[in-house]
Structure 1
Amino acid sequence: MGNDFESILDDGMFSDVVMKSVDGTEYKVHKVVLASRSLVLKAHFAHHTTESVTNVIESPFEAHVLFEMLKFIYSDKASGVHDIPEKLLAAAEFYQLSRLKTLCEDALHKKLTIENVLETLELADLYSAKTLKQLSLEFIKYYQSEMLITKIKAWSNIKSIDLIKTIYEYIMVDEPNVKKVQCMESPHHTDIV
């Protein structure tokens, strides 16, 4: 059935609305399909909005991102998720496509490296990708010795003080079998061993 719906997208037959990318590419689509998959798109048609009057939806996404998202809406397949997971995550969040968002989080998790984990964490924070955020924090904690501030340039690119605080708190949280002992330098500080 997914292939049948994808072919409907490809030929645009019986379309009743146009979805336009930010760079001007137009896709002939179907209100009923869009509304059944996205509450955001459903709201465009359920209320007296510009989109419901003109039957044109202006999307903030580039043509290749919009097309991959539409393919997902029509077929429940996300073939481009491994090529552009960051961009599809933004689209999934924007249009409230939770399954696509999960697929993007999974693809980004599989790509985690010491070099990109901070950027991925920021992305997860920006788009409320809770699972990806948690997995990124666990990755940072596990590889913290290799991620010293002096070794990773990405630390200086983090814009959110709250995110830095979250990383610090996550790394410093007490493990169940870890005990604190007095530090030799100062009787007022503790160190984890």
Structure 2
Amino acid sequence: WEKHVLREDCQHLLKTREEFSDVKIIVKDEAIPAHKCLLAARSSVFAGMFRHANFKENEENRVEIEDIEAEVVHAMLEFIYTDEVKNLADLADGLIAAAHKYDLPRLKIMCEAALCDSLDTKNAASMLRLADLYGSQIFLDYVIGFIANCFRRGQAIKHFEKIRDPDLLLRVTNAMVAEDASTGT
């Protein structure tokens, strides 16, 4: 008996999806064939689109995505079909927005982990914005803690001048005060 693994079968389906596809994902000028059952199984947003007969996406068998880059949509579909993303580190900032929009919690967690791994003083301000918009409280707290530690050490403060949101600045300040209070400094 030849061993079949669901992930490998779905990966094959991803590569040869034209044959059995029943929906097209439209991104820019590209029509990407896909399968409603897999999209709906992985995403409550897609499930909602396909569940209701009067939704345009269900009637036309088309889902138009105008606010996400094609490369990111391809990576999102790779995740939906295989539970993996080969170039996650390169696309995590775009994928976290897609994961948020299409309710893909595992992909969101994977993106948060990749973003945390790449966090540095140069990208911390933009990471803070991403964490605030799309991230979990854990991701947001991690980025705030990182920035607070950088401020405390006087490290690369010029990179944080981009942070304009007073609520986020207050949270960074509160994190610094809380850390100082807990260490007695």
The interval holding the TM-score normalised by the smaller chain is 0.7 to 0.9
Q: Distance in 1 between matches of 2:37 and 2:26?
A: 17
Q: Taking structure 2 as the reference length, what is the TM-score of the superposition?
A: 0.88
- Find the residue that maps to 1:77 and give its secondary structure: coil
Normalising by structure 1, we get a TM-score of: 0.84
- In structure 1, give the amino acid aligned to 2:57: E
Tell me how far apart the structure 2 counterparts of residues 147 and 41 of structure 1 sit (CA, whole Å): 46
Indicate if the aligned counterparts of 1:119 and 1:154 stay in contact, CA closer than 8 A.
Answer: no
Query: Pairwise mapping of residues 113-152 of structure 1 onto structure 2 (< 5 A)?
Result: 113-147=120-154, 151-152=156-157
Amino acid at match of 2:168: L
Other structure's SS at 2:182 match: coil
Unaligned runs of 5+ in 1: 179-192
Gaps of 5+ in 2: 1-5
CA distance in 2, matches of 1:177, 1:104: 32
Contact persistence 1:9–1:74 (CA under 8 A): yes
Residue 159 (structure 1) aligns with: 164
Superposition deviation, residue 161 in structure 1: 1.5
Cα separation, 2, equivalents of 1:97 and 1:14: 23
1:79-90 equivalences under 5 Å are: 79-90=86-97
Q: Does structure 1 residue 34 correspond to structure 2 residue 39?
A: yes
Cα distance in structure 2, aligned partners of 1:113 and 1:141: 13
Aligned residue among 14, 18, 22 for 1:16: 22
In the alignment, residue 30 of structure 1 is paired with which amino acid? H
Report matched runs for 1:55-74 at 5 Å: 55-59=61-65, 60-74=67-81
The DSSP-based 3-state class of the residue aligned with 1:85 is: helix
Give the ranges of 4+ consecutive aligned residues of structure 1 lying more than 6 Å apart after TM superposition. Answer: none
Contact kept in structure 2, 1:61 and 1:91, CA below 8 Å: yes
How high is the sequence identity, in percent, across the aligned residues?
32
Q: How many residues align?
A: 176
Richer in helix (by share) = 2
In 2, distance between residues paired with 1:144 and 1:153?
10
